[in-house]
Chains A and B, each alone.
Chain A
C-alpha cells in the first residue's frame, strides 16, 4: 500500500493503533436535514467521540444506498443542497475541528461533472482528507488516483464479501487511508444480525493485508455488539451511517438540543466499545 505522509486519516489510524483503540467513522448526509442543523449534528458526533467524519454529497441516483440514505439524498436535493454547499460545510467543520479527518462519500458523476482534478482540488482546499466513491472501480480509476496522489487525498476503495483474493490484493495496493469492507450483499442500511460470511471476509482481508492497510467495515452496523464482533475479527474501524440518519429522522418535533444529546450519547456508546481491545 502506498502511504500518504501528510494526511489526517492515516495519522489518525497511527494514533488509534498507538492508543490501542478501534476507530469510529460516522456518516452524515451533507446539508441534511438543513445546513444549520447539519453543522450542529457534526459537532455532536465529534463531541460524542467519532474519530473520522464522512460527509455524503447527495446524488440523484445513489445505487449503492438503501432506503434510508436514498430518502435523505432525495430530500437534501429537493431542499437545494448541492456539492458547493457541502464543501462549505466541510470548510466550516475544518475551522472548528482542525484535526478531525473528513472524507467525502459520493458518486463518481459529482466529481466528473466539475472535472476530477478541479473538484478534488476544491475539496482539498476546503479541508477534505479523502474520498469514498462506491461506483468507482480500480479499472476506471487512473485519473482519480493520479489526483488523489498529487493532492495527498485518501482514495478509499471498497471490497465486497465476494471479491476474489486476487482483486482484494490489487485493491489493498491502491487504497489509501483505509480499505472499506462492505459487510453484506446489499446496499447501505441497518441490519439486525451479522453474517458469518462477513466475519470471514474481514479475517481474510486482514490476512491478505498483513497489517499494511487499515481495515474499516461498513454497511449495516449500528450497535456496540456489532462493533465488538467486527473488532474481534480484525477490523481497525467501523463505519456507521444509516443509524445516524435514522436518529435525525426520528427528531420529529425539531428539538435541536434533544437531537444533539441523542446523537452525542449514541456515538459515545459506540465509541465506548472501541476502547475495549
Chain B
C-alpha cells in the first residue's frame, strides 16, 4: 500500500485535487510548483523560516493538558495544541510566513490573498509587513460588515483590502476575485491561498507549512515520555489546521483522526458547512473535491456560527482520507460549539475561536466514550477574541431564551 505521506501523486489525492484553472494561470502554477520543490528542502530556506516561526511568531506552541476539562468530562485525557497562542492569534500565521518567504525567494513583490473571517487576511498582512512585501486582500462585503475589526487590523498592518460585491459576497467570492486578480496580474503577483484548497500545488504547500503543528505534537509527547495519542480532533473548514495536525500521524494506524465540520443550525435545515458529511463530488476553485452544491452544480450558500468554517468546499486530501476511511468526519452544531466556548473559557481560562470550539465540543463527546488512560489531542486553531461580538449576539439567541 502507498504510504499516505507520499500524496499527492501527480498532483492528486486519489482522484481528488488536480488543476482546473484558466490557461493564463498555468505558467504561474507551474512556476510555483517548480520553485517550491526546489526550495522546500533547502537548509537555508528552512533555517530562515524557522527563524521567523520561532522568534517572530512564537513557535513551538505549547501542548497543554487540560486537566480541568478532562476532570469535568470524565474520560480520556484531553490535551490542547495551543495554536491560539501563535502570533496573529491562529495557526494561519504558519502558512502565511511560509508562503510569503517563498514568494520573496521567487522574486514576487505583490501578494494577494482571500479572507473570510479575516484571520488569513491578518496573517498575510503581518507576514507581508515583516518580510517587506505589498499585500492586497480580497474580502466579501458581507464578511467585512461582520468582521470590521479585522478589516481595521489588516489596514493597520499596511495591507489594502478590496471589498468583494459579487455572488454571495463571502469567502468563496473573495477567492473568485483573488483568482481574477491573479489572472490579470499573473506576471508579478503571488497568490497566497489560506487553506489546503485550490489547484495543485497549493493543497500540498499549505499542508507542508502547517505540518509543523503535528510534528511538534509528536516531539512534545515524546518529551513527556508519552507514546502516540489515541485520537486527534480538529475543526475542518478548508481543513488546514486539521491537515497540519493529521499529516505526521497519517501512517500511524493507532491514531484515530477526527475532522469536525460546522453543522450550523443542523444538517436538516440546510444551513451548515458540512461539506464532507453531506456534500458531493465537484470542481471548484481549481480542484476536484467535495462541494455543497445543488442538483445542477451551482454552489450553495453555507452557514456557520464561525466565519472560518463557512466554506462550501474542502481540501482534496481530506476527501481522500474520508474515502479510504483513514479519518472520520463528523459535525458539531452552532449551539454545541457555543457551549464549548463557554466551557473552555470557564474551566481553563482559555477563550477559544468559535472554529476551534467545534473540535473541543466533539472531543468532549469522544472523551466520554474512551478510557481514562487514553489521550485525545485537540488542535485549538485560534483564539476567540475576534468572536466576542458574535458570541454576545448568539448567546441571546441560544442561551438567553432558555434562561
State whether B284 touches A140 (Cβ < 8 A): no
Please measure, in the bound complex, the distance between the C-alpha atom of A182 and the C-alpha atom of B24, giving whole angstroms: 8
Number of CB contacts from chain A to chain B under 8 A: 116
State whether A137 touches B180 (Cβ < 8 A): no
CB neighbours (8 Å) of A113 from chain B are: 280, 282, 293, 295-297
State whether B27 touches A109 (Cβ < 8 A): no
Please measure, in the bound complex, the distance between the C-alpha atom of A64 and the C-alpha atom of B22, giving whole angstroms: 7
- Interface band, chain B: 35 or more
Q: What is the chain A residue whose CB lies nearest that of B29?
A: A137
Interface presence of B321 (CB below 8 A)? no
State whether B22 touches A59 (Cβ < 8 A): no
Report which B residues bind A (CB closer than 8 A): 11, 18-24, 26-27, 166-167, 172-173, 176, 179-180, 183-187, 280-286, 288, 291, 293, 295-299
Known contacts A74-B166, A140-B18, A185-B186; is A159 also within 8 Å of B23 by CB? yes
Top 3 nearest A-B pairs (CB, nearest first) are A113-B297, A160-B24, A186-B184
Interface presence of A35 (CB below 8 A)? no
Interface presence of A164 (CB below 8 A)? yes
State whether B296 touches A82 (Cβ < 8 A): yes
Interface presence of A224 (CB below 8 A)? no
Q: List 22 A-B contacts (CB under 8 A).
A: A59-B297, A60-B298, A61-B285, A62-B176, A63-B22, A63-B176, A71-B166, A74-B167, A108-B20, A109-B283, A110-B296, A113-B296, A114-B297, A134-B22, A135-B22, A136-B20, A137-B21, A137-B23, A157-B23, A158-B22, A160-B26, A186-B183
Main secondary structure of the interface of B (DSSP, over half): mixed
CB distance from B282 to the nearest CB of A (A): 5
| A60, A110, A111, A158: most-surrounded residue (chain B CB, <10 A) | A60
Interface presence of A77 (CB below 8 A)? yes
Known contacts A139-B18, A185-B187; is A61 also within 8 Å of B296 by CB? no
CB neighbours (8 Å) of B187 from chain A are: 162, 185
Interface presence of A112 (CB below 8 A)? yes
| A135, A160, A163: most-surrounded residue (chain B CB, <10 A) | A135
Please measure, in the bound complex, the distance between the C-alpha atom of A136 and the C-alpha atom of B283, giving whole angstroms: 10
Please measure, in the bound complex, the distance between the C-alpha atom of A108 and the C-alpha atom of B18, giving whole angstroms: 13
Interface presence of A204 (CB below 8 A)? no
Interface presence of A265 (CB below 8 A)? no
CB neighbours (8 Å) of A60 from chain B are: 167, 298-299
Interface presence of A20 (CB below 8 A)? no
A104-159, CB < 8 A from B: 107-114, 134-137, 139-140, 157-159
State whether B283 touches A112 (Cβ < 8 A): yes
